[in-house]
Structure 1
Amino acid sequence: MGVERVMASSGPRGGGPDQTALDEIELTGELMIAATGSECERLPPERIDEVLLAGAEASDRASHQATDRASDQDGLPG
């Protein structure tokens, strides 16, 4: 019985960053910050919804801004 070796590549991946994963990480961070600032043992569902909705709206705005910047850089009309 041999030892199986797994090699990880630290090189660039073809598709770039996974925007969905990055958004989920950001929203998780927002929830952690909200939980830290809360006096309750658990965040009420209403507060969770408030944090997630605010984070999703901010993410949408950032995504639109990045798309606008990319359009401006390509020199083509929007």
Structure 2
Amino acid sequence: MALAEIELCGELIIAASNAEDRLSLESIDEVLRVAEARTDTAGP
């Protein structure tokens, strides 16, 4: 689990460094794949 968290943190750092301004909450959710996690845990 820690490795996945480190990977997501790295992706967030990369996204932030490429952004011209602050990342929006929607951008952060996209980078962290929040919507995917929600659908995965929702189940059938």
Q: TM-score with structure 1 length normalisation?
A: 0.42
The runs of 5 or more residues in structure 2 that have no matched partner are: 38-44
- Residues 10-54 of structure 1: CA deviation (Å, up to 9, x unaligned): xxxxxxxxxx100000000000000000000x2110000000108
- Decide which structure has greater helix share: 2
Equivalent residue pairs, number = 36
The runs of 5 or more residues in structure 1 that have no matched partner are: 1-19, 58-78
After the TM superposition, which parts of structure 1 deviate over 4 Å for at least 4 consecutive aligned residues? none
Q: TM-score with structure 2 length normalisation?
A: 0.72
Q: CA RMSD in A?
A: 2.0
